[in-house]
Structure 1
Amino acid sequence: MGTHPNGPSRIISSSGDADIDLGAWVRKNSDSIGTEMEKNKDLSFLFKVLSVKTALSIQAHPNKVLAEKIHREDPKVYKDPNHKPEMAIALTPFQGLCGFRPIKEVAKFLKYIEEFRTAVGGQHVVKLLSSSNCVDQALQKEAMKDCFTGLMNQKKEVIHAQLSSLVNHVTELEKEGKDTSMYEADVLLKVNKEFPGDVGCFAIYFLNVVNLKPGEAMFLRASLPHAYLSGDCIECMACSDNTIRAGLTPKFRDVKLLCEMLDYASLSVAQAKFRPIQRGNVTYYKPDIEDFMVTKVEVPADTTSGILQCIDSASICIVIQGEGQASSCSLVSPLDLNRGFVFFIAANEEVHLTVSSQGMLVFRASYSVKIPSA
């Protein structure tokens, strides 16, 4: 949902016909998208709903400087010059990989799992094990980078052999009813089933496994490694398609670039989660960037009406639960709303919701604007 040229949304007329793509409409009506976005005559955000069954690739997104460089050098692969920070908000229980684990956790896996040590390479393992006991963060990042790069550049036959050995061992332990939590068995067996023999299966020992409850979120800033494993989510990002991949994917992999650009700082699982701001029945997911924010509006089941407040930004909304109608000063007649309905709100326009007895849940993407005070 948005104006990215790879797949712009369409505006549907009251007769049900697709009249014009949203990008073209925005360019003709740039005074309706808000003060900041009006400067570029385009929406700064791209809005998605993802339902993840098969894992989505181990990847990261470039910052603006790198995005401009790789677009200039290889426009067929990197199709626009924009950065792509993104937010994932869980709609159902959601699992993903996000950021490098605390170095002591990685060291523990290296000590415990022989196949992982072999896949990484002995010289890199020694460096990480020794640096895990010091307080020099620069040295820890360097050791993490060397180990991860060593894994990603390991010979395919070594990866295949070691992964096969590890999966067979974990499978036998499960058959015997033994504890396999130290192997991250559930995640290991899932990703190996979906991408057999893929080097990305070993990356689960470098990256945090993050489990989100509905409403919890991850903010994926530039250079932060991540992957989506399972579940449904709302996703919002800067208007870009720039993704640099290195594992768990049949798509193009740019291993050298990914390993060079990643942020190798360690994060805890708690640090990998994003903390939204709550204001009554409205939740604001507002990261420290200008391109976008997401607002979750809940109309309780015992309430018959709600409001999508006036903001200085055009926005795109999707109804996740409930049914009812939306009305505003610019609408000749109310819009009928139901689950999955998507609608566009011009800047500085207030929308009133009339909902059924079951309530309503709406997610709204917009430019980053000021949050109302408590």
Structure 2
Amino acid sequence: MAAPQVFPLSCAVQHYAWGKMGSSSEVAQLLASSDPAAAISEDKPYAELWMGSHPRGDAKILDDRISQKTLGQWIAENQDCLGSKVKDMFHGKLPFLFKVLSVETALSIQAHPNKELAEKLHLQAPQHYPDANHKPEMAVALTSFQGLCGFRPVEEILTFLTKVPEFQFLIGDKAATQLKQSMGGDSRSMASALQSCFSHLMKSEKKVVVEQLNLLVKRISQQVAAGNNMEDIYGELLLQLHQQYPGDIGCFAIYFLNLLTLKPGEAMFLEANVPHAYLKGDCVECMACSDNTVRAGLTPKFIDVPTLCEMLSYTPSKDRLFLPARSQEDPYLYIYDPPVPDFTVMKMQVPGSVAEYNVLAVDSASILLVVQGRVTASTPTAQTPIPLQRGGVLFIGANERVSLKLAVPSDLLLFRACCLL
């Protein structure tokens, strides 16, 4: 009998300190809903759900007919499940890691190296850069989701330099003037001036950063106490970040980077070398399989300032939203297809009036997550239907046809990660 190609997974949870606590976390809610035996600790953060075969969180297979315990082990022995193109291009490995994130406090401001730089950094400092792969990422909001992403237009940064003297002090007059003069020039001189400003900030002495930040926090706090609105310099956000990371240089990064608030279903794509930070909310995230991160602030961890300042993409851009395409073949399917080969994310919103929904067959292994609704999944090769409810995760081998019967007539929200080459 052929090995099953479609089966449910039990996925790893990461309890990072920045995650939402207990049952307030989307990750905890998905876990509790999909596994009645799961006990949620209210005093523990539930930060990330990992759906994939990454060695630090390899999913367990929930199918008695399969001898391998984890998805990584099973794929290693059944590489054809990846699809022939994916198998060849990614050397028999699943090329993506699919996640749900529940963010309570800000994650570090960071960027991920491109492949060429990742190889170099991994050779030079494997203790900080554990692999030689790039790490493009995409986040699709499940709830209102706030993040920083890419450099703002230069005119906005200049406005902050005028309105926030503490920010201007750290950048210095020379770099600020250079940025002002680059306006209206070519993109190269603008990028160079922006790099100079950002490098000045990042290379500031810790003592000076703390002094200026304390001055700014005091000034904003006094204004807020007097009933004044400080939103023109993101007063509330600055106080929030300072409370989470006192004296951290990353607090000033809000004046360099675009602040995005995504509505559910909206996405941001973070290509190599783009500085970003997730601040608050819940999202589905997909990324290439890598752990390489170059940090810039809002972190107690190692900050590699020279590498960071050298590698960043200093292209200012206002519009960082990544829009999905609506499928031509399926009215309920939205496809978020970034300009990298490693992954594509699909969102399926199926109304409760539809009794049965056929999942599009693709020439790639994929992982399906139920965010809302209850279904039973059946395939031509499966002996019995697989029941799935909120939080349920299904592995689907390449080119497998899966049909979902809605168990109750309520709307269905599904996300799926795959690799469309």
Normalising by structure 2, what TM-score? 0.84
Could you say which residue in structure 2 is the equivalent of 1:120? 171
Q: Is the 8 A contact 1:95 1:211 kept in 2?
A: yes
Counterpart mapping for 1:192-231 below 5 A: 192-231=242-281
Give the Cα separation in 2 of the matches to 1:231 and 1:116.
Answer: 27
Q: Name 1:278's counterpart in structure 2.
A: 326
Aligned partners of 1:186 and 1:282: how far apart in 2? 38
Q: CA deviation at 1:179?
A: 2.5
Tell me the residue number matched to 2:72.
23
Q: Deviations over 1:123-167 (max 9, x none)?
A: 2122112223x3221111111101101101101111111111111
What is residue 380 of structure 2 aligned with on the other side?
329
Q: Which residue number in structure 2 is paired with residue 33 of structure 1? A: 82
Q: How far apart are 1:80 and its partner, in Å?
A: 1.1
Superposition deviation, residue 122 in structure 1: 2.5
Give the CA deviation at 1:7. 2.2
Matches within 5 A, 1:257-296: 257-268=307-318, 271-279=319-327, 280-296=331-347
Give, in whole Å, the separation in 1 of the partners of 2:218 and 2:420.
49
Shift of 1:14: 4.0
Q: 1:289·1:368 contact (CA, 8 Å) conserved in 2?
A: no
Question: Once the two structures are aligned, what percentage of the paired residues are identical?
Answer: 47
SS at match of 1:357: coil
Q: Distance in 2 between matches of 1:330 and 1:255?
A: 53
What is the TM-score of this pair, normalised by structure 1? 0.95
Please name the residue that 2:107 is paired with: 56
Q: Is the 8 A contact 1:87 1:219 kept in 2?
A: yes
Structure 1's consecutive aligned runs of 4 or more residues displaced over 4 angstroms after TM superposition are none
Distance 1:157 1:27 in 2: 51
Q: CA deviation at 1:4?
A: 2.0
Which residue in 2 is equivalent to 1:137? 187
String of CA shifts for 1:74-115, please: whole Å, max 9, x gaps. Answer: 222211111000100000000100000000110110011111
CA-to-partner distance for each residue in 1:256-297, whole Å, 9 max, x for gaps? 1111100001010xx211011013211000011111000111
Contact 1:88/1:235, CA 8 A, preserved across alignment: yes
User: In 2, Cα distance between the equivalents of 1:142 and 1:97?
Assistant: 21
AA partner of residue 337 (structure 1): L
Q: Which residue identity does 1:159 align to in structure 2?
A: V
50-59 or 249-258: bigger deviation: 249-258
Question: Structure 2 vs 1, CA of residues 323 and 14 (structure 1 numbering), >3 Å: closer, same or farther?
Answer: farther
Match of 1:169 among 200, 213, 219: 219
The structural deviation recorded for 1:19 is 4.3
AA at the equivalent of 1:90: A
Q: Please give the alpha-carbon distance, in whole angstroms, between the structure 1 residues aligned to 2:302 and 2:401.
A: 44
Distance 2:174 2:345 in 1: 45
User: Partner letter of residue 77 of structure 2?
Assistant: K
Kept in 2: contact 1:12–1:18 (CA 8 A)? no
Whether the 8 Å CA contact 2:369–2:393 is kept in 1: the answer is yes
SS of alignment partner, residue 311 of structure 1: coil
Query: 3-state SS of the aligned residue for 1:358?
Result: coil
Partner of 2:392: 341
Distance 1:83 1:247 in 2: 21
* Long gaps (5+) in structure 2: 1-50
The counterpart of 1:81, out of the listed 132, 150, 164, is 132
Whether 1:364 aligns to 2:416 is yes
Is 2:106 aligned against 1:106? no
On the 8 A contact 2:108/2:299 being kept in 1, the answer is yes
> Could you tell me whether the CA contact under 8 Å between 2:363 and 2:420 is conserved in 1?
no
Counterpart residue type for residue 275 of structure 1: L
Write the distance in 2 (CA, Å) between the matches of 1:156 and 1:177. Answer: 31
Q: Distance in 2 between matches of 1:181 and 1:335?
A: 50
Is 2:238 aligned against 1:188? Answer: yes
Partners of 2:152 and 2:257 within 8 A in 1: yes
- SS for the counterpart of 1:78 is coil
Secondary structure of the 1:235 match is: strand
**One-letter identity of the residue aligned with 1:219:** F
Supply the RMSD in Å over aligned alpha carbons. 1.4
Matched, 1:153 2:153: no
Instruction: Give the 3-state SS of the residue equivalent to 2:119 in structure 1.
Output: helix
1:372 aligns to what?
none
**Secondary structure of the structure 1 residue equivalent to 2:84:** coil
Quote the Cα distance in structure 2 between the aligned partners of 1:301 and 1:168.
Answer: 53
Letter in 2 for 1:274: F
1:45 is matched with 96
Q: Output the amino acid matched with 2:414.
A: V
Paired with 2:312 and 2:54, the residues of 1 have a C-alpha distance of 25
CA contact (8 A) 2:68 2:74 kept: no
- Give the drift of 1:18: 9.0
Distance (Å, rounded) in 2 between the aligned partners of 1:168 and 1:129: 28
**CA distance in structure 2 between the partners assigned to 1:126 and 1:18 by the alignment:** 66
**Structure 1 unmatched ranges of 5 or more:** 370-374
Q: Is the 1:304–1:359 Cα contact (8 Å) retained in structure 2?
A: no
Aligned pairs (5 A) from 1:296-311:
296-311=347-362
